[in-house]
Structure formats: structure tokens, C-alpha cells
Structure 1
Amino acid sequence: MNRYKSLQQFLNPHFSDEEYQLAAITGDASFRRYFRLNRGQDSYIVMDSDPTKLDNTPYIELNKVFSEHGFKLPKILHADEKQGFFLLSDLGNIHLADMLEDKERTSHYKHLIKLSAQWAKMPPVAYMKDFDREFLELELGIFLQWLVEGFLGLTVTPAIDALWKRSAELLIENVLAQPSVTVHRDFHSRNIMRSNQQWAIIDYQDAVQGPVCYDLVSLLRDCYFKLPHDELEYLLEHAYKEFKEQGLISANVSFAQFKQWFDLTGIQRHLKAAGIFCRLNLRDGKLGYMENVLPTLRYIADVAQEHKALQPLGLWIANTIIPATRVAIKEKLGN
């Protein structure tokens, strides 16, 4: 309540000439809160990002960098960095997620693959961390900590620990073998918007230097939407050609190699995502993401079966983790 009063005090000087209406809108998976501010015919987005919980510097600095390179992002109109209040331009309310039944869906994805390639070519800046081994180990650890042990209450036996370490090493090596580019990290249907006939990007503040296939996985193996197999294969081949044309991968990288990078990067990302969905439930009391856990686990099990070295991981997920998760969701959440 105190932050809400402070937020109003932040806004009042900018809208003193006319009353405004402030309505909460769906937030993201972080500690940030969002509101839509309406004043007459004008609308804005207000972001409350408590600096005691989040470092807002990357949000501010990367906004400048990506905007200068021609990407459409929310404009920061006014900011109180000390308190963590931001007045942003309103990009509307149409996300890619709202357009997935569109007959032009494949065309949308092709345009976004090109956009992701352009994003990848952005030069690194100081606010982008490296997607290195330590970073990857931390991300993979989220799965064991928050899903296996935290949500399911399972004990990691020595045999499972050995299986996990072998699998994790393969996934880490796969990431580190890829060309390093600028990665959004959450380039998916809920963070891509259609605004004034342009594609706009939000939630960009966690950009890193990482594997060339990462954002492509976020887009084509979205945790919130599953593309039909044939459409995904077509778009993956299209991406392979686009990435070659953009100089992101060298001429001697075969499609088979590219697909392996893509598949294994997807397994790493989905392990992290499934763990984060459980963390949002257990730590932050956000239950809405739990409906995405089982589809995300099935991604892992299905793709792992296509790669011999990861089949044991896939079988563990399919035969132990998925059934236990299904039971736990029903018992703990009543779903």
C-alpha cells in the first residue's frame, strides 16, 4: 500500500492537468508490477520495479542500446530510479500469443526468426552477462532444487545424481559449442507484441551473451504453445538458412548439427523453465504458471528420446517425474 501511494506521488506531477485512471494488468514472472494508465484518449504503462528486489540498471541501459539499434521497445518516458517507478509508452495489448490461430502464423514466425537473427547480431555491452558454465550450472540446478526436491519432495539418489551430472554435462557442452551471440533469453509468444504494424519486444532486461539457438528455442518450442511437428521442422530449416545468411553460423555447420544444438538447448531451457514455474509457485505464490509444467516436461521427455546419450534422462522424466508431478499438482493444487 505504501508503494502504491508513492507510485501515485510519482505520477501526479506528470498528469496534474487532468485526472487519470490506473488499473492493474497482468504482470510477468518477476517481482515487477504493471498498471495501465488512461487519461482521456491517451494510455501509458506504469511499471513498479522495487530496487530492493531488482536491479533496474539493465532495464534502463539496455532499453537505450536496443532502441538505438532500431528495435521497437517500450519507451521510458519518465523514471524515478531511486524508487523504481517507470512511466512507459503503451504498446497495446496484442501479443504473439493472441495471434497463434492466425492463418498467417507461419509468416509471423518467419518474420520473427529474422528479427531474432538481427537481435543476435547486436554487439555485446557491459550489462549482458556471459552464458558460461557457472551460469548454466546455476540454471540447471533450479530444476532439482525447486521441482524435484521442492515441489515433488523427492530425494536425489546416487544413481539419479550420476544420471543428472552426465546429462547436465552434455547439455552444457552443447551450449558452449555454439557461436556466442546476443540472446534475449525469453523470446516467446508472451514477450513479443504487435504494435502499430510492427513487432515489439518486452522483458529484454535479462539479455546475455549466449548460444545462437537459445532464442530460436524460446520462439519455436515455446513453453506456452506447441507448434505442430511439420510446421516446426519447416521453420527450423528456414531459421538454419536465415542464420547462415546473417553470418550467425558458419558455412560448414550442417543442418543436423544445427538441429542438435537446437534440441539440446531446448532441453536445457525447459529444465530451467519447469523449475522456475515451481519456484514461482512455492516462493512467490504465483500459481498460474503451474499449468505449463507438464507440457514443458513432455517437451524434455520427447526430445531426449531422439538423442541416444540423453535417453536415460528422458526416461527418468517420462517414467518418474511426469507421473509424480501429475499427482502432486492434483493433491497440492487441486487441478
Structure 2
Amino acid sequence: MSLTLETHRAAAREMFLAGCGHAGQRLHALPADASARRYFRLEGQGLLLMDSPPGAEPLAPYLRVAHLLRGCGLSAPKVLASDIELGLALVEDFGHATYTRLLATGHDEEALYRLAVDALVRLHRAGPQAADGVPAYDGRKLDEEAALFIDWYAPLLVGEQAAARLRGAYLDAFATACREVALCREVLVLRDYHVDNLMLLEGREGVAACGLLDFQDALCGSPAYDLMSLLEDARRDVPEALRASLLTHYLDQRPEVDGRRFMADYQALAAQRHAKVLGIFVRLARRDGKLGYLDHLPRVLRLFREALDRPALHPLRDFLDCNLVPWRDELPAAALDALREPIL
């Protein structure tokens, strides 16, 4: 962010806080993530200031989805004040107990994951009504995301021109793989449902103990997506036995779901998400200088290979084997070194 823009945002934050009765409040900036959105803790107030620049991260979707989640009895932060035009909101501070921190300190892994699955069950039982007013996770959006692999990751393997020549056929192959799931409009899909965005909230019972973050990009689509996102995490390995147990736990609580259809959607969406994330992590490093995401590329590539080894995805796998021969291999050291070079 340029100095001029940051000065403007800082002035907007001060004005907004003054209007909320918190003039002169000292702010503590929280670590940034992959988006342009930023959070500041109001020390001792139990509140966060969300700075969501309107041109990059509109605030209205966050407000809408937070309302929908709370309507389902789930724990999205309460919004105490907001200004959509400024892109600022004062929201409840859930504290420090993210799943990521808890798991790093030895907290019961299975208990945390089962709680997260139970929260999804609650959301999914609410059906499409819980996605009222939210856009569809349709074929256009799925294609747009899958394209991140061919636009950002593949050029590191075969060069930009060769990747560009493959783009149309690659998207056709992905569209075929996702044809059925692209028609699904069953539940609110949070899209980044993983341990970095989940919290354990003390003093709350049942699924309300699972705090939800980073849901502003939610769409209406398949119930398989968020469960897959949780169990096939780009940032940490989930033991296979636990993954299988949690899948069973979810399906046992939703006997109305066609398990075969659910798993077909799960597998197609796993391939789509892992392709997308490979592209996003390269883009974050190359365009934004956020190099930490490169450490996760080997895991995501492994998950992508596993997804394409499922029989329904063999046509897509075969396309890549024939046309993007090095795709199975980790990025060459020279490509990684180039991504790590300082941005001029």
C-alpha cells in the first residue's frame, strides 16, 4: 500500500472510531493475510476494527454473510458499527485461540475438527435459505478460479507462451470435470474453511464454540466444498485416518444426502481448489511479495495429484500428462529462486 493511500486510510480509521465513541483509541495491527483487508485490535475493548478498502474488498458481503451465519446459530463476529462507503467496521474480537495456534500447542486435534464439522452440519441443514442473496458458485466462477493454475503456476513449468496456448483446452477439461457440481445451489459455501479461519470460543456451547472468520467471499453451492477445504488443507497435513473419520461423521449426521453424489462433488472440487491454490500461492509470491506461501506448494501439489488419481478425474489428469508433462514434479529450484527475487 502506498504511503499516500495508507495516510488516507489511517485518517478514515480515526474518523470512524471517533464516530463510534473511540476517539484516540490506540490500535494494534494484526498480521496481514492474503487479502487487502486489515484488522486492528482495540486493546482492552474486546473489539476489532476491520479495514476493508472498498475498491479491493467491499464490506457489504461480509456484513450480509455474518448476518446469515448468526441466523443459523453460528458464531460470526457481531458487528457493532459499520460504514460501507468507507469500508470500515467495528466487530467483536474473538481473541487469540485460532485452531492453528491451538494445534501448534498440542490441543486435541480430533475434538477441534469434529467441532468444525458439526458447525458445517448446522449450516448445511439450513439449506439454501442460509445463502439468501449470495451469488452462485457457478461454472463461470469455478472456471475463473481454475484458470489461476494455468495463468500463474503452469508458466513456471513450460513458459508463458506455451501455457497460454493450452489455456482454452485446459479450461474445457476442467469445465467437464466440474459440470455437475457447477449446477449445485444447496448451501452457503464459505470457501476458506480451514484452521487459520476457525477459533475456539470459551464460554459457548455446542457449535457456537466454533468461531468463524474470513467468510466474506461466500457463495451458494455444494456442501462438499467447505468440508473438503477443511480436510485437504493447503497449510497443514490432516492425517488420513482422521480425514476418513470426519467424512463419515459428517455423512452420518446428514442421512438425507446422497453419499455417492456428495463424494463425486468432493473429488471434483478438490481438484479445482488445489489447482486454484497453486496459482494463488505463486501469484501472492510473484505479484505481492508474500513469499511464505511458497512453503506450502509441495503439499498442495501432492493434494492435486491425489485428487486427479480418482477415476472420475482421469480425463483431466490425462490431459495434463499429455500437454503439461512436468506438472507432477515440484517447481524447479530456478523457478522458486526467481519468485523469491525482490520486486522492483
Query: TM class, shorter-chain normalised?
Result: 0.7 to 0.9
Of residues 273-282 and 138-147 in structure 1, the stretch that sits farther from structure 2 once superposed is: 273-282
Question: After the TM superposition, which residues 95-174 of structure 1 pair with which residues of structure 2 at under 5 Å, given as runs?
Answer: 95-100=98-103, 102=106, 104-122=108-126, 123-149=129-155, 153-156=159-162, 160=166, 164-165=170-171, 167-174=173-180
Residue 3 of structure 2 corresponds to none
Q: Is the 8 A contact 2:277 2:300 kept in 1?
A: yes
Indicate the percent of aligned positions where both proteins have the same amino acid: 25
Instruction: Name the structure with the higher helix share.
Output: 2
Deviating 4+ runs (over 6 angstroms): none
- Aligned with 1:65 (options 51, 64, 68): 68
1:243–1:100 CA distance, 2 compared to 1 (3 A)? farther
Q: Is the 8 A contact 1:179 1:212 kept in 2?
A: no
Q: Could you tell me how far apart the structure 1 residues matched to 2:278 and 2:96 are?
A: 26
Question: After the TM superposition, which residues 172-187 of structure 1 pair with which residues of structure 2 at under 5 Å, given as runs?
Answer: 172-176=178-182, 180-187=186-193
Question: After the TM superposition, which residues 1-335 of structure 1 pair with which residues of structure 2 at under 5 Å, given as runs?
Answer: 1-15=7-21, 20-38=25-43, 41-100=44-103, 102=106, 104-122=108-126, 123-149=129-155, 153-156=159-162, 160=166, 164-165=170-171, 167-176=173-182, 180-197=186-203, 198-244=209-255, 247=256, 249-250=257-258, 253-254=259-260, 257-307=261-311, 308-312=314-318, 315=321, 319-320=326-327, 322-324=329-331, 326-333=333-340
Q: Could you tell me how far apart the structure 2 residues matched to 1:59 and 1:236 are?
A: 28
Shift in Å at residue 264 of structure 1? 2.3
Q: Could you tell me how far apart the structure 2 residues matched to 1:159 and 1:138 are?
A: 17
Unaligned 5+ residue runs, structure 1?
A: none
Unaligned 5+ residue runs, structure 2?
A: 1-6, 204-208
Q: Give the 3-state SS of the residue equivalent to 2:331 in structure 1.
A: helix
TM score, norm. by length of structure 1: 0.85
Q: Could you tell me how far apart the structure 2 residues matched to 1:312 and 1:11 are?
A: 56
Q: Give the 3-state SS of the residue equivalent to 1:130 in structure 2.
A: coil
Of residues 143-152 and 96-105 in structure 1, the stretch that sits farther from structure 2 once superposed is: 143-152
TM score, norm. by length of structure 2: 0.83
Report how many aligned residue pairs link the two structures. 325
Shift in Å at residue 129 of structure 1? 0.9
Q: Is the 8 A contact 1:142 1:276 kept in 2?
A: yes
